[in-house]
Amino acid sequence: MKYLFKNALTVTMDQEMKVLKNIDVLVENDRIKALGSIKPEECENAVEIDCTKKILMPGLINGHTHVPMTLLRNYADDMNLQTWLFDYIFPAEDKLTGEDVYWGTMLGIMEMLATGTTCFIDMYFYMDHMAKAVEDSGIRAQLSRGMTSNEKGPDFSQNKSLNECIDFYLKWNGAADGRIMGAFAPHAIYTCSPEYIRAIRDAAEKYGAPIHIHLDETRVEHQDSLKNFGKTPAKHLYDLGVFDLKTIAAHCVWIDDEDIELLKEKDVTIAHNPGSNLKLASGIAPIPKVMDSGINIILGTDGASSNNNLDMFEEINLASLIHKGANLDPLLINAGEALKMATVNGGKALGREDLGVIKEGFKADLILIDVDKVHSKPLHNPVSALAYSIKGSDVCLAMVDGRILYENGEFKTIDKEKVLYNIEKICDRIF
Ligand code: NI
């Protein structure tokens, strides 16, 4: 299949942040074949997409989320993380079935596609059902089974979650034409004993899997770590050898200067979740300092229960605003830097050098944004517009792997009515 995006105002998200006016981009099968001056014979049989008054850019990569938590959206709000998680979220999650997780994932995927996200990095449970939703919908994702246990071991060979995690990885990593990537996810240091984290880490190393973990999200986590282990959460994971594997650490709100050095030394990616951190009053991560260190930073919404949406344009906006305000410095985290966190940096975090940029040979994960809107005119600087004035709902097309999954309000691979019907049924049962 071939598509020709005609006359696109293209924000490439390459190193130089090139913005190309009125150019054509040719997609063939799952890849970007050419951009700029394309020979007419190359475009033969291509479906033309008129991009007048639209911005073409790489699809956004949601760097940390729990998509099935859409089921718990607007259910438990305005409380601290410990109460929210242990008194409301975990008990509600205990009632979920695999079916529920499938439909919750589908709801989240619809929201993500309609707001420009083409890939997400997730940790949850009933992962076979999540993977099925990713496979059915056509979106791209890194998926991992979140694991919690405070057992001391030493033998975790019979541990149910860890065995599920390994089975899931072996079954799904690289599946759905490579759209599904697997990872191992010890939930956090306050829900996993050191021995359990070590066992997960060793298993991940054995199978060559990367790690996805929550790190230093709240002051309570930070202080408990100092009390229980005599070191910061980051140093704790460093000493357990977790960071010797390719790691995405979500939040890192309370990390100190020494932690930043450790994370940099081990090339850990930090997933910044400004919306969730503000809503749960966890604090504001020291992202400008982290950026100065050269650490790779990606952007995530976290679950829809602590945000309460999966709109990455909101997150880009927040990431580019809160550090300016918190540090009284308007030069911090400019629009381009915030956009990189939501695109090309996500590709790097996944070890994928073919995601997050519009460039020949890269994956055709693309979005079109309608800028013929009152709130985005005049369009002096498209990069500024993307960070400061455009809304997720301005997205009018989402393509993953060269396949259009969403266009002008219509989902091509998902039966919207069926998803909404099932969500209502699930909520009637659980709440
Ligand atoms: Ni999270």
Tell me: pLDDT of 319 over 90.
Answer: yes
Is it true that 2-59+358-411 and 60-349 share their CATH fold?
no
Q: What is the mean pLDDT of residues 55-66?
A: 98
Tell me: pLDDT of 282 over 90.
Answer: yes
CA of 360 to the centre of ligand 1 (A): 34
Tens-digit pLDDT profile for residues 165-222: 999 999 999 999 999 999 999 999 999 999 999 999 999 999 999 999 999 999 999 9
Q: How far is CA 270 from the centre of its chain?
A: 11
60-349, superfamily in CATH? Metal-dependent hydrolases (3.20.20.140)
Which amino acid appears at position 380 of this protein? Answer: H
Tens-digit pLDDT profile for residues 367-408: 999 999 999 999 999 999 999 999 999 999 999 999 999 999
CA of 5 to the centre of ligand 1 (A): 36
CA of 274 to the centre of ligand 1 (A): 12
Burial of 299 (0-12, 13-18, 19+ CB in 10 A): buried
Domain boundaries, the chain: 2-59+358-411, 60-349
CA of 66 to the centre of ligand 1 (A): 6
Tens-digit pLDDT profile for residues 261-271: 999 999 999 99
Q: What is the mean pLDDT of residues 28-46?
A: 94
CA of 408 to the centre of ligand 1 (A): 31
Tens-digit pLDDT profile for residues 236-250: 999 999 999 999 999
CA of 297 to the centre of ligand 1 (A): 16
Tell me: pLDDT of 361 over 90.
Answer: yes
pLDDT band at 350 (very low <50, low <70, confident <90, very high): very high
- Give the model's pLDDT for residue 63: 98
pLDDT band at 233 (very low <50, low <70, confident <90, very high): very high
- Judge whether 78 and 64 are in contact, CB under 8 Å: no
Q: What is the mean pLDDT of residues 112-135?
A: 98
- Give the model's pLDDT for residue 96: 96
- Give the model's pLDDT for residue 137: 98
- Give the model's pLDDT for residue 431: 86
pTM: 0.98
Tell me: pLDDT of 84 over 90.
Answer: no
Tell me: pLDDT of 153 over 90.
Answer: no
| CA distances for 25 relative to 3, 42, 335, 367, angstroms | 8, 11, 24, 12
* DSSP calls for 77-132: -SS-HHHIIIIIIHHHHHT--HHHHHHHHHHHHHHHHHTTEEEEEEEES-HHHHHH
Burial of 150 (0-12, 13-18, 19+ CB in 10 A): exposed
- Give the model's pLDDT for residue 154: 87
- Give the model's pLDDT for residue 339: 98
Question: The CATH number of 2-59+358-411 is which of 3.40.50.2300, 2.30.40.10, 3.30.2290.10, 3.40.109.10?
Answer: 2.30.40.10
Tell me: pLDDT of 410 over 90.
Answer: yes
CA of 214 to the centre of ligand 1 (A): 6
- Judge whether 140 and 81 are in contact, CB under 8 Å: no
CA of 303 to the centre of ligand 1 (A): 6
pLDDT, mean over the chain: 97
CA of 373 to the centre of ligand 1 (A): 34
- Give the model's pLDDT for residue 123: 98
